Structure 1
């Protein structure tokens, strides 16, 4: 016992290993109290581990990989999306376009085009199996790789998918460390992401492909910091082609490219002349030079053309309609773990007597676009830290107003927070476990009081951080 007391890091690693093992192999999604107990204790171990000064970067990296490998042979227990991943990959392997065929149709016609089709359909559920795939092309490539290595075993496919996610997280560790070094930030900051129980459980454990998207995004930001913006544009397109979320970031790159440094004329002038020159100088500063606009235009062109190029192998006349219809479900049909949307919905019930999701689902994305435009034009986003902070708040504004926030969505705010002064996404990753309360009910129903507790904690910590950071700025 004295050995463990003297070596807290060994004890914390051992306890975490046991808890992760229990989580991976002995937990059902409906066991909310057991789930919460394991989650909270894992976060406690995570916090004390990351605060250990005697652990090197290499040791923490090895521990984070160890925790992920614990899940290697487990079947995801908090999400059933992986069944659809396997379905899509096997469909592509058989020559079917996943954007043109709905699983439900094959099952209804009793035509089974792939191995274990019935099991996969039952696993993904009727809701997932009743619409066209909405996973972008590079995500589909991951599914295809799983099908290539394991076309007849769900268990084998799960292992391949999980290895891809683990490799992506190792890549995030590598480029995240490099980016932190170039920004003169502590390299151990990356472990707020890499050792976070939320990240390990929701992404590695439950096979959500945010790590692959984040890998390309962090690599792109690192290359952008090196002024290699062409490669950065290609990498951002790769990120978009795994998950569409980085599309929201595109307006925020405006100031990164449009930078003007105009020196003032220090010759002797009268007060009126100085006033005129000062106003003229300020006006010029607001007008981007042609070369800068050209570079920005090329950057956007490379991102969008590369993204379209990835979709090209799947092109068909029905592709756009099918894909947009599937994506639109997240705006006009689905509701889960929302914050401000639930408030707006209750106001709609109060005055109109029915759910206003059809209207709110159109208005709220417009608010996000307006917010992104405002911070793109009027907030300083010229340094990499300023840019990443803008990405963080732009994305969180979207999440705060969205109709559906699944827990794994928080992976991107968490990694962005690593490079900023803000840690509210870490707090959010702790309390998001409350959203699983709905699964403890046989009929699945959210308790809005619990949702309110979750977001009250998140917003309280966010306000605290904003006030605290602003006070520090004033005292410097």
Structure 2
């Protein structure tokens, strides 16, 4: 019976993922969310209890689904067009941070492949790019291998992310073994529909960040501090977010190889960013984009939306320019306080602390897209917490915002999302207090 239930789960997961990868219309929320619900029901049937079927079968299913999505052009995100734009710029010898996209449509500034058709598909043409050097390198590889086809460029980038995902599943499996945790927890990440659809399916480089973050953690557990630092540098150069996790390494490395790790990290990060730093405009363009991100963009936020409502009540207009940077500072301060309060030096407790840091960041963020949950989903398997898995389902409700153009958020949906996630967290915390205390990472947060 259990095998039958999981087989049905596999079919539901497959059907939902393939529909979201190939057939979905982002403006048709009813069919979109029906597919999401089917995929997550299948996921739940597979991971709810220890897997009776050999684990390799389910890992194989995750590989097959990702391989199939390599050949589907992104359906739920238009970020791919900026990736192609940036890749063509770098391939032609230009710094993607130096000028706004409209500059290359002017007479005398043209670059092969950067035309009005591609420009019209950019979702933020009035802003400098915000993607770090590892992501830019993948964009450039795609532009070089497929200079005349958007689809071909997307396939190249998806193939790279597929390789990163394969690295992640191997590292998750090994880390679970290192920490003495059930190996089937690898499926929390590996078969999660959000992960499959958003990373390989919709081309989000959180997959690259997760892979090298896990590699860094694995190498730390093996006392290979130089390699761990190099992997952390690549993770940072894929997405900047792992920077906020570094305070949790200070105490753990102080009596080990503090200077080796942070010395190699500094050099490796500098070398990765060096090609962009050598060109003009990187500091102004990249720094300006980060500043605008915190002061301008808002989507699916929690604490910020409460402050925004207060701002409207207080002054009568949106005060994101005030509250966005303030919340970023609050998040940084809280993360640093949590890191300073931690006195442990073991590696098993680290994933739980990193999970706490990411949750703090997301609660203080002005923008929370579904793929931002990639790291919490990857880390929760090392802890007792499962609310990130519920969140990975509920956050897909935010696609209701795209049923109209331009998109318009339904704040009731946002309230339901965060209310249920908060309720799940409280329930898990109360349950933890009643049970016999476990050791290490299972008590984090």
* Structure 2 counterpart of 1:383, from 342, 346, 359: 346
Q: 1:475 to 1:156 in 2, by over 3 A?
A: closer
* Aligned-partner Cα distance in 1 for 2:27–2:52: 39
Q: 1:361 to 1:413 in 2, by over 3 A?
A: same
Q: 1:120 to 1:473 in 2, by over 3 A?
A: farther
Tell me the equivalent position of 1:302: 264
Given that residues 112 and 118 in structure 1 are in contact (C-alpha distance below 8 angstroms), is that contact kept between their aligned partners in structure 2?
A: no
* Aligned-partner Cα distance in 1 for 2:220–2:2: 45
Shift of the alpha carbon at 1:474? Answer: 5.4
Tell me the equivalent position of 2:397: 434
Tell me the equivalent position of 1:21: 18
| 1:194 maps onto 2:156 in alignment | no
Q: 1:229 to 1:33 in 2, by over 3 A?
A: same
* Aligned-partner Cα distance in 1 for 2:333–2:24: 43
Shift of the alpha carbon at 1:379? Answer: 2.5
Given that residues 102 and 132 in structure 1 are in contact (C-alpha distance below 8 angstroms), is that contact kept between their aligned partners in structure 2?
A: yes
Tell me the equivalent position of 1:41: 38
| 1:118 maps onto 2:116 in alignment | yes
| 1:134 maps onto 2:130 in alignment | yes
TM, length-normalised to structure 1: 0.88
- Aligned with 1:54: secondary structure? coil
Given that residues 252 and 381 in structure 1 are in contact (C-alpha distance below 8 angstroms), is that contact kept between their aligned partners in structure 2?
A: no
Given that residues 381 and 390 in structure 1 are in contact (C-alpha distance below 8 angstroms), is that contact kept between their aligned partners in structure 2?
A: no
Given that residues 24 and 76 in structure 1 are in contact (C-alpha distance below 8 angstroms), is that contact kept between their aligned partners in structure 2?
A: yes
Q: 1:22 to 1:369 in 2, by over 3 A?
A: closer
* Aligned-partner Cα distance in 2 for 1:39–1:381: 40
State the Cα deviation string for residues 126-176 of structure 1 (Å, max 9, x = none).
xx2222221111111111111121111011111111111111111001111
Q: For 1:351-370, what aligned pairs fall within 5 Å after superposition?
A: 351-370=314-333
Given that residues 81 and 124 in structure 1 are in contact (C-alpha distance below 8 angstroms), is that contact kept between their aligned partners in structure 2?
A: yes
Tell me the equivalent position of 2:372: 409
TM, length-normalised to structure 2: 0.93
Shift of the alpha carbon at 1:309? Answer: 1.2
- Aligned with 2:290: secondary structure? helix
Shift of the alpha carbon at 1:20? Answer: 2.4
Aligned-CA RMSD value:
2.0
- Aligned with 2:51: secondary structure? coil
* Aligned-partner Cα distance in 1 for 2:406–2:332: 36
Tell me the equivalent position of 2:244: 248
How many matched pairs? 437
Identify unmatched segments of 5+ residues in structure 1: 259-290
Tell me the equivalent position of 1:332: 295
Shift of the alpha carbon at 1:430? Answer: 0.4
Tell me the equivalent position of 1:107: 105
Larger radius of gyration: 1
Shift of the alpha carbon at 1:230? Answer: 1.6
* Aligned-partner Cα distance in 1 for 2:351–2:79: 30
* Aligned-partner Cα distance in 1 for 2:114–2:339: 48
Tell me the equivalent position of 2:179: 183
Tell me the equivalent position of 2:442: none
